[in-house]
A and B are shown apart, each in its own frame.
Chain A
């Protein structure tokens, strides 16, 4: 029982991170019908930016633990958002009207580019985040000692998701994003500047990914230049699991995938941990390609 509870909370914390990354995939896919392969590497970029900031500014001495984390996350979010926007300008916008494969290959190229740029600048060795920024208190729940950090992670990703949900559903800009996702041409006729909306989506998605990057750094303590690949692929799995293009779906899918993976690693085999997520991906695409919350769309998958 204790093991189960440990793995469950661990899965929730990781799942929150998956969900944040998955939101970036699902929003871009919802609007452009494009798998933004470079998104996973923007997430890595966030982790490295947070790291650089933390080390070079020596923030941890000046502010309290949580404030440092907050500043880092905000900063990484801003910078990664700019990177995402630039990426869209350079690699995707010229291909807006070409066929899907072209854009997918360009996205792959961008992914390889960003990943190797990070490697060239920051080195191929893994970097270690300074410890002691987040509280390491242990909270006893039902007689099981659980690290508070997990709840903090989960809580923070939940907060970001709720903010996004509110933004998408309560503001004018959010309504415009939903409109463009449904029908670009009709949205254009209604006076929505589609290019601006796409740029906005490429600001929000990477910003969430950047936040997730810093959180991974703080949570695991270690970052590598190529971690974006596996995190990205799993987050994409999460997005499909919940129903791609569907924002609540990405949240549910991410958390679910985190829990499945943590429990699978504990009860099936730790060596096959990464394979579990891919098996989930294949099974969901075979049996329910629209995902858990996805609606049946006219276009066949």
Chain B
């Protein structure tokens, strides 16, 4: 018996709960520690990290769990953010009520765009999704349908409000963004441990074998894209409400590269790794603001070095564990029910 706590099936859930309890204490902690400005600047960075974490988690479904090289995630993000901005500034919808619409439109967009190309293999998919994100950016720049505001984008997005509580301060925004991150993380944890999550992983490792086991590969791949895009669209709402001004250049190819890098460097397929990746890439970027021009240089070099020395990422996903004893138990009882043996009959009497 050398049961370590790490081996416990609910270990990752436990870590998650502890992590979010710590995160909940951060604003108070910053205030008490007497950082200049009450920690507003730090909270701002954490907000940004939170939004990137949600986005990267949603990309993780597509790239990490299902193994589809999606370099166009910023396009889904853009659809969500612009949906919120347009509905809010032109039709005066409250920000929160635009969230389902943003998610839904992003998912619909993903469905329509990805359906014809879902059969493409690996790097071809990568190049097409780069094409998609560029087309979306160009369309936004050219003021498509006359509602995106062209290169200047849309400004004056309202603050989100819930039951009369307006999320206006940085601190309230922080709680909003990180509770959304927490909820997303929990749902993605459930997804990962569901039948669908297992199907995704199977496709990632061997899609031919998955097809052989009766998994409709194309449908599940499309499902991964639609789910990821839905969440990216909702992250778009959060982003639009946080930054309040959106412009096409916020959704360019390099946003996609950063999201891609967060997932790959953090540990593709592992939620904890993705969160760590978001902290490292977005947080460090902010720390190195002084070396602004050399930042991307290091970023590129780090990507190369990481692939050479630790291609599985910083925190790769743990092996799936099944409680074999429980499965045997289920199986045995099933046998008993269908073929009752003498002993059972005797007991029945």
Residues of A within 8 A of B (CB): 34-35, 90-91, 94-95, 98-106, 108-117, 119-120, 124, 229, 233, 236-237, 240, 269, 271-272, 274-275, 278-279, 281-282, 285-286, 289, 299-301
Contacts and interface: CB of A to CB of B under 8 A. Distances in A.
B304 interface: yes
A233 B130 contact: yes
B252 to A, nearest CB: 10
A279 B135 contact: yes
Given A106-B303, A119-B293, A229-B253, A281 B138 contact: no
Given A101-B69, A278-B135, A271 B264 contact: no
Contacts of B306: 105, 109
25 contacts: A98-B311, A101-B122, A104-B69, A104-B126, A105-B303, A105-B306, A105-B307, A106-B304, A106-B308, A109-B301, A109-B304, A111-B300, A112-B297, A112-B300, A117-B297, A120-B293, A237-B131, A274-B138, A275-B138, A278-B131, A279-B135, A281-B127, A285-B120, A300-B119, A301-B121
B307 A102 contact: yes
Secondary structure at the B interface, as helix, strand, loop or mixed, is: helix
Contacts of A98: 307, 311
B307 A120 contact: no
A294 to B, nearest CB: 12
Interface string B241-258: 000000000000100010
Contact of A116 (B67, B69, B122, B296): B296
Contacts of B300: 108-116
Nearest to A283: B116
Interface residues of B, number: 42
Given A116-B296, A271-B142, A286-B116, A108 B123 contact: no
Given A104-B69, A109-B304, A119-B293, 11 more contacts: A102-B307, A102-B311, A103-B307, A105-B260, A106-B308, A108-B300, A115-B300, A233-B131, A275-B138, A275-B139, A289-B124
B117 interface: yes
Interface of B: 67, 69, 116-117, 119-124, 126-128, 130-132, 134-135, 138-139, 141-142, 253, 257, 260-261, 264, 293-294, 296-297, 299-308, 311
Contacts of A34: 123
B212 to A, nearest CB: 16
A109 B299 CA distance: 7
A35 B127 contact: yes
Nearest to A236: B127
